[in-house]
Chains A and B, each alone.
Chain A
Amino acid sequence: MNQSRSMAVLYVILSILLLIVIMPFIWMLLGSLKSQGELLQVPPTFLPEAPSWDNFARLFQRLDFGRYFLNSTVVAVVVTVANLVFCSMLGYALAHLNFPGKKIIFGAVLGTLMIPGLVTFIPQFVLVVNMGLGNTLPALFLPFLAGPFGVFLMRQFFLGMPRDLLEAGRLDGASELGIFFRLFLPLAGPALATLGILTFLSSWNNFLWPLVVASTEDTYTLPVALALVSTGQNQTDYGLLLAGACVVVLPILLVFLFFQRYFIEGIATTGIK
């Protein structure tokens, strides 16, 4: 009796907390459909009185959010694919092959895992400007194509796979590269899914670097555009800002709800977002 009562209390508390935690998102969605007048009303309304897509229309017509959406997507896709390819290659080599320089490479990868973007962004900026790539899309993704986190994750994964597979491949006369591409890589699905989702997410949400590099509207990514609108002349146009926040958040939210298992496994096993 007492047991089930305390369970009920726990459920009630957790439900209230859940409501508080997701309230900002509910408020964002509802607010994006309200007019500016209604948004500033005291006390605020909960459901929009006359829901309209007007804020979204302004976002895509008066501002160029379609373009920023495309930029964010291109950058995130390129960064994700590159990391999947390069990190699994090096991760496998570090886990199962002997080659000169192996220890140095692994040490360098581990050593930079903790270095913040704040430390590297100025020389990286000088570098891309001198490469003639200032304010271009390649400049947005080049520094992120080979991330240390992915190598670490893939190495750990391949270490957990049996070495017998490698020996069996060699006995069958497969080439070293063939063993990796045809035996190991097809079995790495779950690890690749985790790495892919985490990489896509961090690229989509990345802010400091695109803020530094993108100096005109044609290279803005979504977070940069939203931040600049929110600090510029439209900074009190909350309808526009909430609609913008929806455009940044909703795609990722959908991806997350679809693939949440991989997200949560990835966080629990590596501990890194």
Chain B
Amino acid sequence: MTTEVAPAATEQRPRAGRRNSSEARAGLLLALPFVVLFSVFTLWPVLQSMFMSFTDTRITDIRTPFQVNFVGFENYAKALGDPVFRRAALNTGVFVVVGVPLTLACGLAAAVALNKGITKFRSVFRVGFYTPVITSIVAVAVVWRFLLQPDSGLVNTVLGWVGIDGPNWLGDTRTSLLSLIAMAVWRNFGTGMIIFLAGLQAVPWNLHEAASIDGASAWQRFWYITLPILRPTVLFVMVTTTIGYLQFFEEPFVMTQGGPLNSTLSASMYTYQQFGFGNYGLAGSMAYLTFLAILLVTLVQFRVTREK
């Protein structure tokens, strides 16, 4: 942020010129390895995948990726008209709309609880709640599939203690997606918690004391003092969690393979399946639709939360 562009200035100031040119040389040299790798393996693929989504590229064109036919928006129209893709998009939407608020609420509740003067074991709780975040989704999905077994699973056993006959969580279309959402909340609320804990340091606690003397309840103080200060933090966690959830993939891949009856098929998973069938152009358009959703949701969330 503190920089001014150098090259134009170099010629006008001959005394500084020599140093500036060695500085520019060093800068370019330090940038070179990253820029080369980044251009080849990230920038170029981003552009090529856009190109690909407007062509009829198939697996058979893999050696000649540019000798393909341009088909305009045909892939996009095909994706949007495909009832299975629509179902996958709907599932992804439900996953986000239900999962993101739950994740945020759990993360915020954990952060506020840990900030209430807990001194003993504070870091034990913090590390414990954060542990699911660092683990491989594939591994935890395997474990959760076992926990959610209809008969011998731990969840239904515990429910049985209080007289509830638990459903076949992953095998029933009414509970399958909800089960994946529950697992996602469990795995991700720790990230929110850590960021909220950092955000809570900015809350003026003397204001809390004053409000408390004036008779404001704990809930009122949270709502009118803490939450407004946390607003940017909440927005940030909301955006990053939404971006992550819009691409959920491992959970259905391992736990349900998208079933039963496509009830847990996600947009990412369907995109991957189309890639597997060799329909690269079509899969590319689906990936860009997800990306478009990410951009849109991010913009909307910034808009909505900035008002007021």
Interfacial residues, chain A to chain B (CB-CB below 8 A): 7, 10-11, 13-14, 17-18, 21-25, 27-28, 31, 39-44, 85-87, 89-90, 92-94, 97-103, 105, 108-109, 112, 114-116, 118-124, 126-127, 129-130, 142-143, 145-146, 148, 151, 159, 170, 175-177, 180, 201, 204-205, 207-208, 211-212, 222-223, 226-227, 230-231, 238, 241-242, 244-245, 248-249, 252-253, 256-257, 260, 263-264, 267-269, 271-273
Contacting residues of chain B (11-34) with chain A, CB-CB under 8 angstroms: 19-20, 22-31, 33-34
- With A122-B49, A146-B38 known as contacts, the answer to whether A43 contacts B160 (CB < 8 A) is yes
Chain B residues, CB < 8 A from A121: 275, 287
Q: In the bound complex, what is the Cα–Cα distance between A123 and B7 (angstroms)? A: 35
* B116 & A10 in contact (Cβ 8 Å cutoff): yes
* B129 & A21 in contact (Cβ 8 Å cutoff): yes
Chain B residues, CB < 8 A from A7: 117-118
The 3 tightest CB contacts between A and B, nearest first, are A99-B27, A176-B26, A98-B6
* A145 & B37 in contact (Cβ 8 Å cutoff): yes
Q: Which of B7, B143, B194 contacts A27 (CB 8 A)?
A: B143
* A119 & B291 in contact (Cβ 8 Å cutoff): yes
Chain A residues, CB < 8 A from B257: 231
Q: Is B85 an interface residue (CB 8 A)?
A: no
* A118 & B271 in contact (Cβ 8 Å cutoff): yes
Q: In the bound complex, what is the Cα–Cα distance between A142 and B36 (angstroms)? A: 12
Q: Which of B130, B271, B283 contacts A264 (CB 8 A)?
A: B130
- With A40-B152, A89-B30, A256-B134 known as contacts, the answer to whether A109 contacts B38 (CB < 8 A) is yes
> Contacts A90-B31, A180-B30 given; 7 further ones with Cβ under 8 A?
A24-B144, A31-B146, A42-B151, A97-B27, A98-B24, A99-B25, A114-B243
Q: In the bound complex, what is the Cα–Cα distance between A115 and B144 (angstroms)? A: 29
Chain A residues, CB < 8 A from B80: none
As a 0/1 sequence over residues 102 to 117 of chain B, the CB contacts with chain A under 8 angstroms (1 = contact) are 0000000010011011
Chain B residues, CB < 8 A from A242: 142-143, 146
Chain A residues, CB < 8 A from B30: 89-90, 92-93, 97, 177, 180
Q: In the bound complex, what is the Cα–Cα distance between A222 and B139 (angstroms)? A: 9
Chain B residues, CB < 8 A from A177: 26, 29-30
Chain A residues, CB < 8 A from B19: 170
Chain B residues, CB < 8 A from A114: 243, 294-295, 298
* A100 & B41 in contact (Cβ 8 Å cutoff): no
Expressed in whole angstroms, the minimum distance between the Cβ of B53 and any Cβ of chain A is 9
* A260 & B49 in contact (Cβ 8 Å cutoff): no
- With A90-B31, A99-B27, A227-B253 known as contacts, the answer to whether A263 contacts B134 (CB < 8 A) is yes
Q: Which of A129, A159, A205 contacts B136 (CB 8 A)?
A: A205
Chain B residues, CB < 8 A from A227: 138, 250, 253-254
* A176 & B272 in contact (Cβ 8 Å cutoff): no
A-B contact pairs, 6 of them (CB 8 A): A42-B151, A102-B5, A122-B52, A143-B42, A252-B135, A253-B135
- With A143-B41, A264-B126 known as contacts, the answer to whether A90 contacts B290 (CB < 8 A) is no
Q: Is B224 an interface residue (CB 8 A)?
A: no
- With A10-B113, A14-B113, A40-B152 known as contacts, the answer to whether A89 contacts B136 (CB < 8 A) is no
Q: Interface majority SS on A: helix, strand, loop or mixed?
A: helix
Chain A residues, CB < 8 A from B120: 11
Contacting residues of chain B (251-308) with chain A, CB-CB under 8 angstroms: 253-254, 257, 268, 271-272, 275, 280, 283-284, 287-288, 290-291, 294-295, 298
Q: In the bound complex, what is the Cα–Cα distance between A24 and B126 (angstroms)? A: 17
Interface residues on B, range: 35 or more
Chain B residues, CB < 8 A from A175: 22, 26
Q: In the bound complex, what is the Cα–Cα distance between A10 and B134 (angstroms)? A: 26
Chain A residues, CB < 8 A from B140: 24, 245, 249
When C-beta atoms are compared, the residue in chain B nearest to A28 turns out to be: B143
* A105 & B152 in contact (Cβ 8 Å cutoff): no
* A245 & B143 in contact (Cβ 8 Å cutoff): yes
Q: In the bound complex, what is the Cα–Cα distance between A29 and B5 (angstroms)? A: 57
Chain B residues, CB < 8 A from A120: 42, 45-46, 49
Expressed in whole angstroms, the minimum distance between the Cβ of B71 and any Cβ of chain A is 16
- Identify the interface centre among A97, A170, A252: most chain B CB within 10 Å of its CB: A97
Expressed in whole angstroms, the minimum distance between the Cβ of B104 and any Cβ of chain A is 14
- Identify the interface centre among A89, A175, A212: most chain B CB within 10 Å of its CB: A89
- Identify the interface centre among B19, B24, B49, B146: most chain A CB within 10 Å of its CB: B146
* B247 & A118 in contact (Cβ 8 Å cutoff): yes
Chain A residues, CB < 8 A from B249: 118, 207-208
Q: In the bound complex, what is the Cα–Cα distance between A98 and B8 (angstroms)? A: 11
Expressed in whole angstroms, the minimum distance between the Cβ of B239 and any Cβ of chain A is 9
Chain B residues, CB < 8 A from A231: 253-254, 257
Q: In the bound complex, what is the Cα–Cα distance between A71 and B110 (angstroms)? A: 37
